[in-house]
């Protein structure tokens, strides 16, 4: 993302931070907390975004925690249809949550101001342009939206109640835009804490391995559009006033003109072109202190690896996307980080291990701490595939063999022998395959699985799905080109700049993209499996699955909220006969991150 910090700041200064006069405070109902509601802040083009400001009643200058999102700064999770399931899950997990707070100001994937203001912080929550009370064109992840965020940060740093230091905190969307705005280096930004946020807009959001991710249409339709500014039909209610959150009503035609559907935009840009380069930040310009909280599924280590910050920490957790954010342990972690970098407290944060990972196993999880990522002592271990036997093994496969499968069918599965001793794999995953197709293209979907001694799939709670395997990989074979300079021993970097059609029936070596790393301690008697197919992996209604311990969940057979298969993929192209070759001159294998020494 190439914006000039000087331009952003000079424009912000040229408007004199219009909107700095606060709106009439609303009675917060929380002792010691002032609530400034719907404060207008003027952007560089004159549009006024609206923000809520929660600050200590006691006069003084305080550090600011900020977030900016599309979900409604005034919308209660407990009442909005789009968030009610999340709220129910949250309260079930933490039944005492609303005894420690009134919960009146908790918003979707956002920090609770009542847990921060008493500790000497100001919390600012703004509606993005085109959402909630903020007018304009709703265009998620756009350069305009990121410029707005930079202006808000610098505005907050100059307010009379501000210490001049601003930190960013939030999950998902409100973590993604932290990376984006940090690369603009706005004045006042002192630290960021992106909690499970994607970094690479092409590879982690729009396309998985070059295959369009249509799951964003569900997000857009159910969680974002109801909160579009001017939407008079919104089911979302303003928890402050009791009315709607979306401002003055606009006609259907104006509403349509005032929004950019991300999946429609993504489909117009199938390659990693200037559209994504404007939206994916330049990691070399992310230099502020950073704590990246990641997940083993969906969004993980990319932002941490890309950022140039010398003071950066990584935590990879397991479990669902939102509830861990509100735990007492998470709150304590967040406060220690910001107390150190926003308040300057000598609280020992600098001694915090740079990397902490939640290692998974069927009977529970535990934290491991390290100095770097991938973990020191990680050894790449090659597991060779053999289509003649349907096996995967560290032993070399000398005889060449091949096997075909329908492109839209169930594909092929390779299974290891039962492990003879407990073994751990934690880190990035690589998959090299030799493939051909009867058509000019094919899609590859790979799933790394854990099988218990009874032959059941062991599943884990993922970011958005209660049943996920150990890892998922994707590749559109016509986009198989690799940039060696940006690749590692495990993960090939695909530029995704052009399409190179396949010659029917010709074998090609490909590297399947596993965006996220994995972690598993495999007990004696368990097996690994790798499934290769031409459609999204999912557990069918007849699948035999068992949940790993620590997750009290109902059975589900979905493939998750984030899926990559486009329902309109042309079956004449992607429904052909696909072939996988192994052994001899066609070595197909999985490269697994073996942990040699565990402490």
Residues 497 and 396 in one domain: yes
Q: Is the pLDDT of residue 227 over 50?
A: yes
| Average pLDDT score over the chain | 91
Residues 384 and 250 in one domain: no
Whether the Cβ atoms of residue 372 and residue 575 lie closer than 8 Å to each other: no
Predicted confidence at residue 382, as pLDDT, reads 98
Does residue 406 sit in the same domain as residue 330? no
Residues 247 and 333 in one domain: yes
Residue 561 parent element (H or E)? none
- 263 with 397, same domain: the answer is no
pLDDT of residue 11: 33
Whether 332 and 462 map to the same domain: the answer is: no
CA distances to 175, 332, 538, 562, 580 from 108, in Å:
13, 20, 28, 19, 44
CATH of the domain at 530: 2.60.120.260
Round to whole Å and give the CA distance between 390 and 112. Answer: 51
Under DSSP, is residue 213 helix (H, G, I), strand (E, B) or coil? coil
Q: How high is the pLDDT of residue 5?
A: 30
pLDDT tier at 177, thresholds 50, 70, 90: very high
- pLDDT(558) > 70: no
Do 251 and 399 belong to one domain?
A: no
Say whether both 334 and 431 belong to one domain.
no
pTM: predicted TM-score of the whole model, two decimal places: 0.93
Q: Residue 128 maps to which CATH number? A: 3.40.50.1820
C-alpha span between 106 and 35 (Å, rounded): 14
- Residue 40 in domain: yes
Torsion of CA 489, 492, 495, 496, to 10 degrees: 180
**Per-residue tokens: 385:** 């595939």
- The answer on pLDDT for 509 being more than 70 is yes
What's the alpha-carbon Rg for the chain, to the nearest Å? 25
pLDDT band for 238, please (50, 70, 90 cuts).
confident
**Residues 48, 51, 56, CA angle at the centre, nearest 5°?**
140
> What token pair was written down for 122?
């100001």
CB 152 within 8 A of CB 66: yes
Ramachandran class of 443: left when φ > 0, alpha when ψ lies in -120 to 50, beta otherwise: beta
Residue 568: pLDDT band by 50, 70, 90 thresholds?
Answer: confident
pLDDT level of residue 599 (50, 70, 90 thresholds): low
pLDDT at 237: 83
pLDDT at 299: 85
Look at residue 337 and tell me whether its pLDDT is greater than 70: yes
Strands (E), 8-97: 25-26, 33-42, 48-56, 62-69
Lowest-confidence region among 169-178, 555-564, 583-592: 555-564
Residues 440 and 573 in one domain: yes
Is residue 576 a part of any domain in this protein?
yes
Q: Judge whether 278 lies within some domain.
A: no
Give the helix/strand (H/E) hosting 287: none
The answer to whether 596 touches 379, Cβ cutoff 8 Å, is yes
Model confidence at 556, in pLDDT bands (50, 70, 90)? very low
Is-contact 540 498, C-beta < 8 A? no
C-alpha pair distances (Å), 387 with each of 383, 414, 466, 532, 534: 13, 8, 31, 11, 17
Which range has the worst mean pLDDT, 286-295, 327-336, 363-372, 552-561? 552-561
Please identify, among 352, 368, 390, the residue that sits at the C-terminal boundary of a domain. 352
- Establish if 297 belongs to a structural domain: no
Percent of the chain predicted with pLDDT > 70: 93
Residue 427, both tokens: 């880190």
Is residue 397 in a domain?
yes
Q: Domain for residue 504, yes or no?
A: yes
Whether the upstream peptide bond of residue 206 has omega within 30° of 0, thus cis, is: no
Phi-psi region for residue 431, left (φ > 0), alpha (ψ -120 to 50) or beta? beta
Task: Determine the pLDDT at residue 461.
Answer: 86
Task: Note whether 443 and 565 are within 8 A (CB).
Answer: yes
Q: What is the domain extent for residue 502?
A: 378-595
404 plus 550 within the same structural domain: yes
Q: Which of 519, 522, 520 is nearest to 418 (CA)?
A: 522
Q: Assess whether 332 and 394 both reside in one domain.
A: no
User: Per the domain annotation, does 293 fall within a domain?
Assistant: no
Decide: 414 and 386 in contact? Cβ < 8 Å.
yes
Mean pLDDT of the region 250-279: 97
Co-location of 335 and 238 in the same domain: yes
Convert the pLDDT of each residue in 28-68 to its tens digit. 789 999 999 999 999 999 999 999 999 999 999 999 999 99
How many structural domains does the chain have? 2
Question: pLDDT of 66-113, one tens digit each?
Answer: 999 999 999 988 888 888 888 998 999 999 999 989 999 999 999 999
């Amino acid at each position: 993302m190439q914006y000039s910090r000087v331009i952003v700041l000079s424009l912000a200064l040229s408007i004199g931070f219009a909107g700095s006069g606060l709106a009439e405070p609303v009675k917060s109902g929380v002792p010691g907390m002032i609530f400034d509601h719907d404060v207008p802040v003027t952007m560089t083009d004159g549009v006024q975004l609206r923000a809520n400001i929660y600050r200590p009643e006691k006069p003084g200058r305080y550090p600011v925690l900020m977030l900016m999102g599309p979900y409604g700064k005034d919308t209660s999770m407990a009442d909005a249809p789009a968030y009610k399931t999340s709220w129910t899950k949250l309260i079930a997990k933490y039944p005492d949550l609303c005894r420690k707070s009134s919960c009146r100001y908790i918003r979707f994937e956002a920090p609770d101001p009542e847990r921060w203001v008493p500790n000497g912080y100001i919390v600012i929550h703004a509606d993005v342009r085109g959402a909630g009370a903020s007018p304009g064109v709703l265009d998620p992840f756009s350069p305009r939206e990121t410029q707005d965020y930079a202006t808000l940060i610098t505005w907050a740093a100059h307010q009379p109640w501000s210490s001049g230091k601003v930190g960013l905190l939030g999950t998902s969307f409100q973590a993604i835009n932290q990376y984006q705005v940090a690369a603009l280096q706005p004045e006042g930004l002192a630290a960021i804490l992106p909690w499970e946020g994607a970094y690479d807009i092409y590879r982690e959001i729009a396309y998985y391995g070059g295959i369009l991710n249509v799951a964003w249409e569900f997000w857009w339709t159910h969680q974002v559009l109801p909160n579009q500014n001017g939407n008079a039909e919104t089911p979302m209610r303003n928890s402050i006033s009791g009315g709607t959150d979306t401002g003055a009503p606009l006609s259907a035609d104006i509403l349509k003109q005032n929004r950019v559907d991300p999946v429609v935009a993504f489909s117009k840009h199938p390659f990693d072109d200037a559209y994504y380069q404007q939206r994916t930040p330049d990691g070399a310009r992310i230099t502020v202190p950073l704590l990246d909280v990641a997940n083993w599924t969906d969004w993980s280590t990319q932002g941490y690896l890309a950022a140039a910050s010398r003071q950066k920490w990584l935590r990879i957790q397991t479990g669902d996307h939102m509830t861990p954010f509100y735990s007492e342990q998470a709150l304590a972690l967040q406060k220690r980080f910001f107390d150190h970098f926003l308040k300057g407290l000598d609280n020992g944060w600098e001694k915090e291990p740079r990397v902490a990972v939640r290692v998974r196993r069927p009977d529970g999880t535990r934290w491991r701490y390290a100095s770097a990522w991938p973990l020191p002592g990680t050894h790449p271990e090659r597991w060779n595939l053999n289509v003649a036997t349907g096996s995967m093994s560290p032993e070399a496969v000398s005889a060449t063999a091949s096997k075909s499968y329908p492109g839209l069918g169930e594909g092929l599965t390779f299974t290891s022998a039962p492990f003879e001793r407990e073994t751990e794999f934690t880190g990035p995953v690589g998959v090299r395959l030799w493939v051909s197709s009867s058509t000019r293209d094919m899609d590859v979907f790979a799933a790394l699985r854990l099988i218990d001694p009874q032959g059941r799939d062991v599943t884990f709670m993922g970011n958005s799905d209660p049943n996920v395997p150990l890892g998922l990989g994707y590749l559109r074979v016509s986009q198989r080109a690799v940039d060696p300079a940006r690749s590692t021993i495990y993960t090939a970097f695909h530029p995704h700049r052009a399409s190179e059609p396949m010659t029917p029936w010709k074998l090609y070596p490909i590297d399947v993209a596993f965006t996220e790393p994995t972690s598993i301690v495999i007990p004696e008697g368990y097996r690994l499996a790798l499934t290769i197919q031409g459609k999204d992996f999912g557990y069918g209604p007849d699948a035999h699955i068992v949940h790993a311990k620590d997750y009290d969940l109902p059975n589900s057979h979905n493939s998750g909220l984030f899926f990559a298969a486009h329902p309109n993929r042309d079956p004449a192209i992607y429904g052909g006969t696909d072939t996988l070759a192994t052994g001899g001159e066609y070595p197909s294998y999985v490269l697994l991150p073996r942990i040699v020494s565990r402490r």
